[in-house]
């Protein structure tokens, strides 16, 4: 298959692209290098460019005509929209950037898909869309109309826009609600990356919500397995599906939680880091921050019913793999 990936030099997209190339697919990627660490993104890209079946173009989702030209030239069977402005806590500091990337950028992609008509469009959404849901685990059929961060609001909006386009133009679409993905080559703004860096530098780490926030940490290799399993599962109205399916009654569109469904306290994550580093961290307990939710916990019944997968890399194992990569990559 020919597969187009937006945000190809990003953390999750990089891992997905490598797996697709290893499986024999041709991959065309785009990225704008405007994320949290452009240098790290370029290092990821350099590894992808070593593969003869990978091609790359640098462009921004705001460049609607160039985006259309790229997809028209590529003529992909599948489009993976993994580019985004990420981060719940920082989304109120520059909300315009989140609108431009997650809403206007997604609109431009949907317009392009309207023309090229891929067999399947998969869009990276987020567990943050569940917002103030107080009855975890969160299932795809739960309400998502109470966001507590502006980031969540933009991702929920992107889901709604994709449903409208799926309905109007018959674009088979799956929205992947990703839960706190971590692992090698991860984003430097994420908690795990920050904890490891600060502990190695002998600096204290900050634990928001007094360290009692719970997160459904999901190892990146498990996410890759889920994405690859979902690519051929094209939504279609009226198709047989489990009772828990989020399949739209009027469009070839669904949402799927992608998570390990093994939430742990952030303090447990820190304990795993300390065990891997052989060092005890100095901890500073702070109140919950704007945009934080207390608990993320996915109901993965639909993912398992559709794919047969149950993502189960233990946090301790995943943290150890990240620490090993971090030490080797930064020579610390």
Enumerate the active-site residues. 151
Tell me if 192 sits within 8 A of 318, measured CB to CB.
no
Task: Select from 220, 120, 76 the least CA-distant residue to 57.
Answer: 76
Q: Is 284 helix (H, G, I), strand (E, B) or coil?
A: strand
Give the side-chain half-sphere CA count within 13 A for 268. 15
Total number of residues shown for the chain: 332
What stretch of H or E contains 163? helix 150-169
Give dist(CA 327, CA 332) in Å, integer: 5
- C-alpha distances out from residue 201 to 61, 226, 280, 305, Å: 36, 35, 12, 44
Close Cβ partners of 52 (under 8 Å, ≥ 6 residues apart):
none
């Amino acid at each position: 298959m020919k597969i187009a990936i937006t945000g190809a030099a990003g953390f999750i997209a990089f891992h997905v692209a490598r797996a697709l190339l290893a499986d024999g697919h041709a991959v065309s990627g785009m990225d704008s290098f405007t994320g949290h660490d452009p240098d790290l993104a370029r290092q990821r890209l350099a590894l992808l460019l070593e593969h003869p079946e990978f091609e790359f173009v640098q462009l921004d989702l705001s460049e609607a005509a160039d985006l259309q030209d790229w997809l028209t030239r590529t003529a992909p069977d599948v489009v993976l929209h993994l580019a985004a402005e990420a981060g719940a806590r920082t989304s109120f500091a520059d909300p315009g950037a989140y609108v431009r990337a997650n809403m206007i950028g997604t609109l431009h992609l949907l317009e392009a898909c309207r023309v090229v008509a891929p067999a399947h469009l998969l869009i990276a959404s987020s567990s943050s869309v569940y917002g103030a849901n107080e009855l975890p685990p969160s299932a795809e059929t739960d309400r998502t109309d109470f966001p507590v961060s502006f980031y969540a609001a933009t991702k929920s909006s992107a889901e709604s826009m994709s449903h409208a386009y799926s309905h109007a133009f018959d674009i088979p679409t799956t929205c992947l609600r990703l839960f706190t993905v971590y692992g090698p080559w991860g984003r430097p703004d994420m908690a795990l990356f920050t904890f490891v860096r600060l502990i190695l530098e002998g600096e204290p780490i900050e634990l928001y919500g007094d360290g009692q926030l719970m997160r459904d940490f999901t190892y990146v290799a498990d996410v890759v397995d889920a994405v690859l399993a979902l690519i051929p599962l094209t939504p279609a109205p009226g198709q047989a599906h489990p009772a828990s399916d989020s399949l739209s009654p009027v469009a070839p569109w669904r949402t799927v939680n992608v998570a390990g469904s093994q939430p742990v306290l952030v303090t447990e994550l820190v304990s795993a880091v300390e065990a891997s580093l052989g060092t005890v961290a100095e901890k500073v307990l702070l109140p919950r921050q704007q945009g934080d939710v207390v608990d993320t916990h996915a109901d993965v019944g639909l993912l398992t019913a559709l794919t047969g997968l149950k993502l189960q890399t233990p946090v301790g194992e995943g943290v150890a793999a990240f620490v090993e990569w971090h030490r080797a990559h930064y020579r610390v």
